[in-house]
Amino acid sequence: MKKTFTLLLLLVTSVVAMANDQWTTIQNGQLWLDDNGNSVQAHAPGFVRLGGTWYMVGEDRGNSWNPDVNLYRSDDLVHWHFVKKIIQNGVTTTELGQSRMIERPKLMHNAQTGRFVVWCHYESKDYGASEAACFESETVDGTYHLVWSGRPLGIKSRDCNVFQDTDGTAYFISTTEENQHLGLFRLSPDYHEAVSHTQLFPHQQREAPAIVREGDTYFMFNSACSGWDPNQCKMAYTQDLQRGWTPLENIGNDLAYDTQAAAILEIKGSKRTTYLYVGDRWQDPRLPESKTIIFPIEFEGTDCRFHYRERFDINFATGEWRETPREGLFADKSEWKVTKDSTSLTVDMGQMQDIKGFIAIPREEARARQVVRRYAFYTSLDGTTWEKAVEDNWLPYWAAVNLESRKARFVRLEALPTRPSMRPGRPMRATMPLARGFIGSISDLDVLLK
């Protein structure tokens, strides 16, 4: 019996050790695909974690202007399985897809009732309705029915989010009265209706609010109202949701790393708690191809370290995160020689490499108008004869561009002049490059190895 117990203890210890050593790499800027190879359509996402499984709801922008609400699940925020459409045009309610559409659906689990609740922006095509709606299901993947829709407490409401406090109290947060203010609505115990309202940040025209609690402090992240284009993320904090919010202050760079806040996820592990910022990278380049961006943020007192990472590793068992090891993934830069002029950046890597892509790293202080979009990328064996690897109208912001594998010692990124007309169906954005092509906003390159 003693020998059996010892073997069992060793087995348990081994399993725990293996779990503690399981790192998941989350890479940003790529189109997410589900396990059937279809693009993940869950924009402006909301999340609930049940056990070790994440459930994500969001807008299906495959039908750009009348999105259904899709439900996905994942164990690691990387590999997603499409569960079903939980709110569907013309099915869940007859007015959806006709006189009403849904934006920013957010999912909550009510521990008191055991039910799952979605709050969202419920809007007409001209944005005149300025309403919210509440849907409910007995199970996370069950049938959701409309509980209520209208203006919460009679107040015009648009862009929105939700927050659940540690005692189970839920709040609906939205832009109110023609986007002038933010409104904090405390919900009833069943999460079905707003029962009180507090006006926050009056006349500051903020949207995309995301609240997280760290210890006894509440932090809110939000953005200005600039349509689909990114802008400066701002943050405030308080010890009381209804009062005492500090003035909004800038965090990150002036385009929030081409994101808009959607959620803050808490990863509580055996060693520490990590907070993950989740943002939408809208119209990248078209609306259905908008990306979901995730990166760790850290709190120290009332300060927040808010720095983008193209990729990072997370351990869901321990709650730790780390920089993704570079060895064998990126070309070593120790022998690089970099030359730069007004329109191009050229690198002599010092030796022949088998490469399969690159990442253009922007300057932190680069403004939205300076971001390089139309570009060409060249490779060379000798620095004299160059081969064009790719030319496109859309250089993804701080994200990998994948190429067919090739040998090269020299690489060059060139910013091209903007064409009068872009690719059909691609919208013009404030983040288009300067007309003459300008490489100054790019600080560095990473080269991906085969």
- Cα 196 to Cα 10, 286, 445, distances in angstroms: 54, 38, 51
CA dist 337 and 372 (Å) reads 22
> Domain holding 358: CATH number?
2.60.120.260
CA dist 342 and 354 (Å) reads 28
Global pTM value: 0.93
The single residue listed with the structure tokens 């081969």 is 387
Q: Residue 367 has what pLDDT?
A: 75
Across the range 348-353, mean pLDDT stands at 98
Least confident of 55-69, 73-87, 289-303, 395-409: 55-69
> Domain holding 196: CATH number?
2.115.10.20
Asked whether residue 205 falls in the same domain as residue 343, the answer is no
Q: Which domain holds residue 423?
A: 337-449
pLDDT tens-digit map of 268-326 = 999 999 999 999 999 999 999 999 999 999 999 999 999 999 999 999 999 999 999 99
Asked whether residue 70 falls in the same domain as residue 110, the answer is yes
Domain's final residue, options 290, 322, 354: 322
Residue 2 falls within a domain, yes or no? no
The answer to whether the peptide bond before residue 285 is cis (omega within 30 degrees of 0) is yes
Share of the chain above pLDDT 90, in %: 87
HSE on the CB side for 89, CA within 13 Å?
A: 18
The band of 15, judged by pLDDT with boundaries at 50, 70 and 90, is: very low
Asked whether residue 269 falls in the same domain as residue 183, the answer is yes
What does the block give as tokens for 326? 């570079």
Domain's final residue, options 265, 299, 322: 322
Read off the amino acid at residue 20: N
SS3 of 93-133: the string is ECCECCCEEEEEEEEEECCCCCCEEEEEEEECCCCCCCEEE
Asked whether residue 273 falls in the same domain as residue 356, the answer is no
Asked whether residue 152 falls in the same domain as residue 223, the answer is yes
Residue 115 falls within a domain, yes or no? yes
